Amino acid sequence: MTQPARHAAMLSISNSGPNTMAGEKQQSTQHMHTQSQPSQGLRVPSNRKTIYDRHLNRSRSAELSRASFAFLFAEMVTYAQRRVTGIQDLERRLNEQGYPLGLRLLDLLYYRTMSSSTSSSLSSSSTSASPPNRPLRILPLLHLIHGPLWRLLFNRPADALEHSVSPETPNEYMITDNDPLVNTYISVPKEMSMLNCAAFVAGIIEGVCDGCGFEAKVTAHNQPTEMWPGRTIFLLRFGESVMEREKVLERAGVK
């Protein structure tokens, strides 16, 4: 009751930053001092900085330790491997882990492109003008994934973008990554040679497609070549509704 302003600024979501651990520890000690105050069950970092006070571009050029990423990803695969019935089931679970990430990255990607119209590192190919346009057709969407999204995730564009040549499957597109970062430290046992842990990245792509309103199924497949033993193809299969809309938009002249 003594400090109503303090509680007014409280947040329902705890802070997600590099100093989360430190912040939470301090917070818990602080809670002991302030237990006499009415608690709303909400916690705020000790420095009063909620996620809304942090700038979204702050960590833009920051780089993560590859070792810690490899460790975390290996743990994710192990976690997904529990209670699965087979390789397909395992890939489905990895896909589901990536999906929410895709939805989030989409918003973040547009926000960063919007707020930095001067630097064009992210806004190449499909999104040249600022503010960037939402993709309306399949091709701009694929360029968005191939270019800006890949750069955001892996700091380089994907290696190839192809359309299925078969007339029976006009709804299939392929994005190739010669050496996926996620698979760098994953050794797949022989009896599971079909498994590709880049199913996680396929899930991210699926999230991006779905977020943009393009219903799609995305799967990751091994396609090793002599030069690139880890080459992975992401197969995007767009749904019937998307193809129908594509035809309508083509007639209407929407790009």
Partner 1 sequence: MSYYFTILSPTDVPLFNIAFGTSKSGGDGIARFRFPDTAQYMNQFIIHSSLDVVEEAQWMNGNMYLKHIDTYPPASAYISAFLTPSGARFLLLHQPPQLPSNSAGAGGSMSGSLLLGSGGSSSRASASSVAANPTSPQTEEAVRQFMTEVYENYVKTVMSPFYRQGMEIKSSVFRGRVTAAGRKWL
Among the listed ranges 4-12, 90-98, 195-203, 224-232, the one in contact with partner 1 (CB under 8 A) is 4-12
Binding of partner 1 by 235 (CB under 8 A):
no
Binding of partner 1 by 254 (CB under 8 A):
yes
Binding of partner 1 by 192 (CB under 8 A):
no
Q: Is the dihedral of CA 62, 66, 71, 77 positive or negative?
A: positive
Binding of partner 1 by 9 (CB under 8 A):
yes
Residue 176: beta bridge partners?
A: 160, 233
Binding of partner 1 by 133 (CB under 8 A):
yes
Question: To which H or E segment does residue 162 belong?
Answer: strand 160-163
Binding of partner 1 by 116 (CB under 8 A):
no
* Exposure string over 78-97, b if 16+ CB within 10 A, otherwise e: eebeeeeeebeebbbbbbeb
Binding of partner 1 by 243 (CB under 8 A):
no
Q: By CB under 8 A, how many residues form the interface with partner 1?
A: 36
Q: Angle, to 10 degrees, between the axis of helix 87-115 and the axis of helix 66-81?
A: 140
Binding of partner 1 by 142 (CB under 8 A):
no
Binding of partner 1 by 11 (CB under 8 A):
yes
Return the DSSP state at 253.
Answer: T
Q: Is the dihedral of CA 64, 69, 70, 71 positive or negative?
A: positive
Using the minimum distance from each CB to partner 1, give the nearer residue, 9 or 160. 9
Q: Which of 77, 106, 145, 201 binds partner 1 (CB under 8 A)?
A: 106
- Tokens 């046992």, residue located: 189
Chain residues binding partner 1 by CB under 8 A are 8-14, 16, 50-52, 54, 56, 100, 103-104, 106-111, 114-115, 131, 133-136, 211-213, 245, 249, 252, 254
